[in-house]
Chain A
Amino acid sequence: MRSQRTLGRPPLVLVLPGALAAALLVVPLVTLVLDTPWGSFVDQLRTSAVRDALRITALASVATVVACLVLGTPLAWLLARVEFRGRTLLRAAVAVPLVLPPVVAGVALVSALGRSGLLGSVLRETTGLTIPYTTTAVVIAHTFVSMPFYVLSVEGALRSSGEQYDVVAATLGADRWTTFRRVTLPLAMPGVLAGAILAWARSLGEFGATITFAGNYPGTTQTMPSLIYQVLQTDPEVARTLSMILLVVSVAILAALRNRWLTTP
């Protein structure tokens, strides 16, 4: 309050656009809550289409997080700790899916792993397996769009925790794997957790890449966002209910992250 007095009233030129920005972000969510037909909310949760979509979404998002932990952590460590040629280029490439329109991600995945894709056709000829139209395809699509969030978060944590502890561990006789397990990773744990939650949230909302690469079939590839898009064409009221379910989950994630984002430094 004291700084308020010395600095004077906040100028309207900042207050008005700020209030407009806040309204733009908050009003649609409030209207979504108000428009939700709460009377039929629980009944909607019980329909088999919604149960299937919720199951696929939950399964895919958990598998995505596991894939990020197992594959993304080593990549983040390589980017943060190992000097090699083309590292800057690789880091830039890893960040591209962050800004890529999801539909483009889907088209790219089809060109690589589709039935007639570069790798997909080889896989099909040698093993007879095809990836599209399977839950595996959903997980691959989700991992493709979610991994950058995880890798960049963990890499940032690894860089800010510094290399000096690794050096100390090495002088005490620890090999690099032991150092990674006992020193580097525990220090980067906040970044690992935040990255995992970001990746999970991104996976929950994934739509474009999934419907383009994996397709849309109830029980195998239909996720909540795909179902919402489909239902919106015939029954907007049900679509609002389903959107509400995803909103509730998203807010729960934000609550889990509250220590990082919601408290001002």
Chain B
Amino acid sequence: MKTLVTAAVLALVLPLAACGGGDDGGDSKTITVLAAASLTGSFTDLAHRFEADHPGVHVRLAFDSSATLAQQAVDGAPADVLATADTATMDGAKSALAASPKTFATNTMVLVTPADNPAGITGFQDIDNSHVTYVACVETAPCGKVAAALIADNHVTTKPASLEVDVKSVLAKVTSDEADAGFVYATDGVAAGKDVETFAIPHAADEVTSYPIAPLTQSQDAALARQFVDLVVSDQGQQVLHDAGFGKP
């Protein structure tokens, strides 16, 4: 019984101790960047570059849907920088922004199918067929707003089989062969590589999403937060984003 109690106490206390351990490295600093899920690859890369340029600085990344992150920023989550996948969610976080947001990238939507293309899709118009199971984001997410607009613009009459909460879930449904096609960002198509086949969507150029970034008021180190934003909009940052499939701001 005694060992059980000890184990229980340890189980409760150890994670707390681990949390407190972050400041151990003398003058090491941590900045937290909240970024839209579609930025996962490029921001991980940029964070490594930032850490290389700023010895002793650790960049903590949190990826989620833009709406969730904006809400967290407004609620005072301990974070330094916010980057979202559309301007509307950034506007929603206005009260938490330390500077006006800068647009650093754009993205367009594409249609992806699993690598073996089970439904034999040859172009976007093929999804307008009751035998094709396709998925998109729910309209409350930025990726869903664009998908819904494109479905309307192209007069698609069939409905998605499922409305996923974020674009990564859409991609997962496609790569796991649970859907014949899915609406994802061009960058997701690039990131998925050989796992998917990518098709252009007519009128996609009319529904370009802009990615804004801004430092947050609750930042403990405003200078570092600003420097991270500067890296993202710099030529070096733009090259990383371009390689990931993003368009110019």
Contacts and interface: CB of A to CB of B under 8 A. Distances in A.
Nearest to B161: A133
Interface of B: 65, 67-68, 71, 133, 135, 138, 140-141, 159-165, 173, 176-178
A211 B165 contact: yes
A31 interface: no
B165 A216 contact: yes
Contact of A229 (B162, B165, B177, B178): B165
Contacts, number: 55
Nearest to B66: A233
Contacts of B71: 233, 236
Give the size range of A's interface with the partner.
20 to 34
A229 B169 CA distance: 14
A215 B135 contact: yes
Interface in A209-256: 211, 214-218, 221-222, 229-231, 233-234, 236
A110 interface: yes
Given A130-B133, A233-B141, 8 more contacts: A214-B162, A216-B138, A216-B162, A217-B163, A231-B140, A233-B65, A233-B165, A236-B71
Interface string A111-124: 00011100000000
A115 B173 CA distance: 10
Contact of B162 (A114, A116, A215): A215
Given A133-B161, A216-B163, A114 B176 contact: yes
Contacts of B164: 215-216
A132 interface: yes
A194 B160 CA distance: 39
Contact of A234 (B133, B135, B140, B163): B140
Contacts of B165: 211, 216, 229-230, 233
Contact of B67 (A115, A211, A233): A233
